[in-house]
Amino acid sequence: MPTARQIVHEFLERRGMTTIFGNPGSNELPFLAELPGSFRYVLGLHEGAVVGMADGYAQATGRPVLVNLHAAAGSGNAMGALTNAVYSRSPLVLTAGQQVRQAIGPEAMLANVEATQLMRPLVGWAGEPACAADVPRSLAQAVFEAELRRRPTYLSVPYDDWDAELGGNALVTLDRDVRRALTPAEADLAALATEVAEAANPVLVLGGDIDTAGLFTRAVALAEHLELPVWVAPSPFRLPFPNRHRLFRGVLPAGIGALSDRLAGHDLILVLGAPVFRYHQHVPGPYLPEGATLVQVTDDAEAAARAPMGRSLVADPGTVIEALLGRVAGRPTGQGPRFAPNEEPAPAPRDLHPEQVFAALREAQAPGTTYVVESTSTNAAWWRQADLREESSYFFPAAGGLGFGLPAAVGMAMGRPQRPVVAVIGDGSANYGITALWTAAHYRVPVTFVILRNGSYGALRWFGDLLGTPDVPGTDIPGLDFTRIAEGYGVPAATAADLPDLRARLKGPADGPRLIQVDTHLTTPE
């Protein structure tokens, strides 16, 4: 009879989940034994980097991915990175080895006590099979829960379960399949189409879920068909609309009052594929401008339930977009070019201004480049200079947790090798996921890492000014040299001496990982 391990390996292979990201310990070895040759095990040197790489891979492929963590200690190391995966709605399936069953109660070394509680409330589902015979079904549930909820799940498995021989009832798991459909009712579609058609000054607000669902070009079609100004919902983890398009108005600020001010004058605010809203800094004010109605369309029932204002329709945004395209008459098209030119880069009194760096990237990289950005103090400079016209062009830590950028870029490049990947990382952020450089070097992943070094947590300085608490300790980080760190991990690295040197180093595609350190002028996020 087949073992639990053999059944699970076959189930994963049938589901196309043959890439595993992990950092194993002793409890995980029995699961990894006899791994079929069709599988690829991607080793990371720290569980935070492992989850970050898997997050990037899942976002790049749009499919669930298996992550193998070590008991409670490894799971704990991964939790910071897990927060980003939760808010990017990445379908990660986290598995962790558990001690043998008879050793859990006495709390032997490496026993994961109350394993199902450890990762909550971050994960959408957590389980531990009640017996060895339930291992395949439990693993299948973890996969389906991740797909259906679009949220990470967690399964703890006692390591003596993997060698257990199982009967026919366990084999039926191999044929399991679960599908999801969220088609809105005809009455809801008709009412929304009428509301949009009759609005005097509607506006479209798009969220990262639009890009996740592959609706980037359809969102452009809808905006152009209805001639709607487009804002991106605050704190975007992906870009759902070309940022140089003539209808693009920018990224909404993450403060209640400031966001409301930006939308003043609109009577209908149609939000597709975003929560309403992911605020950050506390800026008091009304949720909505006077006279405005908000309608949210999302397939995330939790986001709809917790929204503080407006009406929510839990449905597939793609279905709604197609309904509006077919039911609402088009409006006259605006005049002028479809895309607006970039502004001239700002100069810097010393070093390089981030805008100069981003302009150089725009000029040197191929149009379809994927950018993983984790430099929060340079947001304003980024949006002034970036020119992103294709889907899956921009990724950002969805929960704001540092350490996403470096590992996610490695996962992105492994999941979508046909597109070049550039990681733009601040010097404060880079330290959190730095071990991902070893994985990039070991697997020769073609990523360009651009590290912006200003010797400070720039975003914290800005936030300190906002809160009226300037000059607090812990915001300066001098003395870092990422070229030496990168070379220690096996990644070729250099410091760009000036703008011509930076441009020269950016030329040509990367045939493996490379790191370019750039000393930049300290700026503010907005």
Task: Compute φ and ψ for 136, nearest 5 degrees.
Answer: -60, -45
Of 175, 210, 239, which one is at a domain's C-terminal end? 175
Is residue 347 included in any domain, yes or no? no
**344 lies in some domain:** no
pLDDT digits (tens, 9 = 90+) for 439-469: 999 999 999 999 999 755 555 454 455 556 6
The verdict on residue 234 lying in a domain is yes
The answer to whether position 340 is within a domain reads no
**Residue 334 belongs to a domain:** no
**Which H helix or E strand runs over 59?**
helix 47-61
Buried b (16+ CB within 10 A) or exposed e, 104-120: beeeeebbbeebeebbe
Domain extent for 114: 4-175
Q: What is the pLDDT of residue 462?
A: 46
Same structural domain for residues 106 and 165? yes
pLDDT > 90 fraction of the chain, expressed in percent and rounded? 80
Residue 486 and residue 376 share a domain? yes
**Sheet of strand 125-127, all strands in order from the earlier edge strand to the far edge:** 40-43, 19-22, 65-69, 92-98, 153-158, 125-127
Q: Is the residue at 397 inside a domain?
A: yes
| 119, 35: one domain | yes
| Number of independent structural domains in the chain | 3
Token pair of 302 as six digits: 């939790």
- Distance in angstroms (rounded) separating the CA atoms of residues 2 and 41: 23
Is the residue at 481 inside a domain? yes
* Three-state SS at 130: coil
Answer yes or no: do 163 and 74 share one domain.
Answer: yes
For residues 169 and 201, membership in a common domain is answered with no
Shared domain for 467 and 396, answered yes or no, is: yes
Q: How confident is the model over 229-244, as pLDDT tens digits?
A: 999 999 999 999 999 9
% pLDDT > 70, the chain: 94
Residues 168 and 236 in one domain: no
Helix (H) or strand (E) holding 447: strand 447-453
Q: How far is CA 60 from CA 244, 313, 417, in A?
A: 23, 27, 10
What residues are annotated to the active site? 25-26, 28, 47, 70, 280, 400
- Of 119, 151, 175, which one is at a domain's C-terminal end? 175
| Cβ–Cβ < 8 Å for 99, 27 | yes
Q: Domain with 111 in it: what CATH number?
A: 3.40.50.970
In this predicted model, what pLDDT tens digit does every residue of 267-311 receive, in sequence order? 999 999 999 999 988 889 999 999 999 999 999 999 999 999 999
CA 395 to chain centre: 6
Judged against a pLDDT cut of 80, whether residue 479 lies above it is answered with no
Residue 247 and residue 150 share a domain: no
Tell me how far CA of residue 479 lies from CA of 67, 126, 491, in angstroms.
34, 42, 20
Same domain, residue pair 197 and 263: yes
Statement to judge: residues 401 and 509 lie in one domain: yes
Residues 96 and 112 sit within 8 Å (Cβ to Cβ): yes
Tell me how far apart the alpha carbons of residues 67 and 55 are, in angstroms, rounded to a whole number.
10
| End residue of a domain, out of 155, 175, 195 | 175
Does 456 reside within a domain?
yes
Q: Distance (Å, rounded) from C-alpha 356 to C-alpha 150? A: 38
| 421, 422, 428, 431: CA torsion to nearest 10 | 40
